Amino acid sequence: MSVAETTENNKAVSGVEIQLDQVTKRYPGTREPAVNEFTMTVPAGQIVIFVGPSGCGKTTTMRMINRLIEPTSGKITIGGEDALSLNADTLRRKVGYAIQQAGLFPHFTVAQNIGVVPGLLGWDKKRIDDKVEEMMDLVGLDAGDFHGRYPRQLSGGQQQRVGVARALAADPPVLLMDEPFGAVDPITRGNLQDELLRLQTELRKTIVFVTHDFDEAVKLGDKIAVLGDQSTIMQYDTPDAILANPANDTVAGFVGAGASLKQLTLLRVRDVELSKPDITVSVNDSVSTAKEQAARARGSFVLVLDDRQRPIRWVNTRQLGAATSLRTAGKPLLDMVSTQSTLQDALEAMLAEGGSVPVTGSRGEYAGMIDLDTVIATIQQLRQEHADDHAGSDA
């Protein structure tokens, strides 16, 4: 396998590139095309999100990829093959499809729903059974419990999981998802989004995902296509680039208020410089060592680290006065973040702590502190870069 086919975490990309070239859809009896000369490359193994106002043509564009809607003109290739000349079986193998409210067959059990496409492809019973079990496991549904249930006996979130399992059952390189999490409550929706991201780190499919929700697009997308009327591409770029530099006022309107706050969800603590104040003591140090340290520290606080350098407690000068051991002095640490956390998580923790918070590295070891000034400076720097980009593009 070539280097290009592996990702940074060494999972093989199973998805393939999709190309749409001047694809147009005219519905019979309408004056204007619903999709007009749409041209885009969806990179292999990435999640591309279509966002845009109702009726702009997102669903029509997406459904032309698996030919649930036949294009009027133009060309579509999936992994280099002409999609318009593929037969129905090949398309089913290549392109999985998941939709809002899961679209499950009400009179089929969970297992029968997941086995639909393998059944259509003529797999034998044992192979289908094994696949159904594997898929239920993949999406976090206990096969013993859910196998024989009917869709009406499932919660909305469970139905969506079955919908995703069904779409993935024939292991297609491409997955189309049309507002798949649109009909569930915000908490379930967040969980399903997290699960999709977890699945994607393993599967590396090419996913085209339609949503109305820009926050969902920012969270899930490797790239976002902001579409206007007749599926006109107003901007097609990474979430970061769109947030920092919306192509026009319409895109800016779609990005909505709080673009800077949304950017905090894209940046990780590892992306910023941590401060390293001299405030740590080991749990094995004496109380008097800690007192000297606290006297030197600006806030009169010290951070106690355990034998493996992990932060465990805060102690202040007053608490040290009466303390006999650093194992019990002061208060256990409530909030900390890791280098993997987003800057939004860090900001939350700072608001809860009322100041800077400790940061831990990959093994839980103390890595430094993050403070509000760092977050503010990072946002200001992004704004500056964004202003420079504008100056660059105006030149």
Ligand X SMILES: Nc1ncnc2c1ncn2[C@@H]1O[C@H](COP(=O)(O)OP(=O)(O)OP(=O)(O)O)[C@@H](O)[C@H]1O
Candidate ranges 27-35, 133-141, 366-374, 380-388; the one touching ligand X (CB under 6 A):
27-35
Candidate ranges 58-66, 113-121, 245-253, 341-349; the one touching ligand X (CB under 6 A):
58-66
Q: How many residues bind ligand X (CB under 6 A)?
A: 11
* Sequence letter at residue 98: A
Q: Looking at 5, 7, 21, 55, which residue binds ligand X (CB under 6 A)?
A: 55
166 binds ligand X (CB under 6 A): no
Candidate ranges 26-34, 169-177, 215-223, 373-381; the one touching ligand X (CB under 6 A):
26-34
56 binds ligand X (CB under 6 A): yes
57 binds ligand X (CB under 6 A): yes
What's the min distance (Å) between Cβ of 29 and ligand X? 7
What's the min distance (Å) between Cβ of 308 and ligand X? 51
Candidate ranges 48-56, 93-101, 141-149, 249-257; the one touching ligand X (CB under 6 A):
48-56
Q: Looking at 23, 42, 58, 169, which residue binds ligand X (CB under 6 A)?
A: 58
Residue 20's DSSP bridge partners are 40, 76
Residue 128 DSSP class = H
Report whether 362 contacts 348 (CB < 8 A). no
The smaller minimum CB distance to ligand X, of residues 182 and 277, is found at 182
Q: What angle do CA 102, 103, 104 make, to 5 degrees?
A: 90
Q: SS3 sequence, 11-38?
A: CECCCCCEEEEEEEECCCCCCCCCEEEE
78 binds ligand X (CB under 6 A): no
70 binds ligand X (CB under 6 A): no
What's the min distance (Å) between Cβ of 127 and ligand X? 35
Candidate ranges 52-60, 199-207, 237-245, 301-309; the one touching ligand X (CB under 6 A):
52-60
164 binds ligand X (CB under 6 A): no
Report whether 294 contacts 320 (CB < 8 A). yes
What's the min distance (Å) between Cβ of 273 and ligand X? 42
Q: In whole angstroms, what is the distance from residue 210 CA to residue 224 CA?
A: 10
What's the min distance (Å) between Cβ of 220 and ligand X? 17
Q: In whole angstroms, what is the distance from residue 12 CA to residue 384 CA?
A: 37
What is the DSSP code string of 284-343?
A: TS-HHHHHHHHHHSTTSEEEEE-TTS-EEEEEEHHHHHH-S-TTTSSEE----EETTSBH
30 binds ligand X (CB under 6 A): yes
Q: In which element (H, E) is residue 134 found? A: helix 125-138
Candidate ranges 12-20, 39-47, 54-62, 313-321; the one touching ligand X (CB under 6 A):
54-62
**Chain centre to alpha carbon of residue 68:** 27
What's the min distance (Å) between Cβ of 257 and ligand X? 21
- Which value, to the nearest 10 degrees, does the dihedral of the CA atoms of residues 33, 34, 39, 44 take? -150
Residue 275 DSSP class = B
Q: Looking at 27, 105, 140, 384, which residue binds ligand X (CB under 6 A)?
A: 27
Report whether 347 contacts 375 (CB < 8 A). yes
The smaller minimum CB distance to ligand X, of residues 191 and 232, is found at 232
List interacting residues with ligand X (CB under 6 A).
27, 30, 34, 52, 54-60
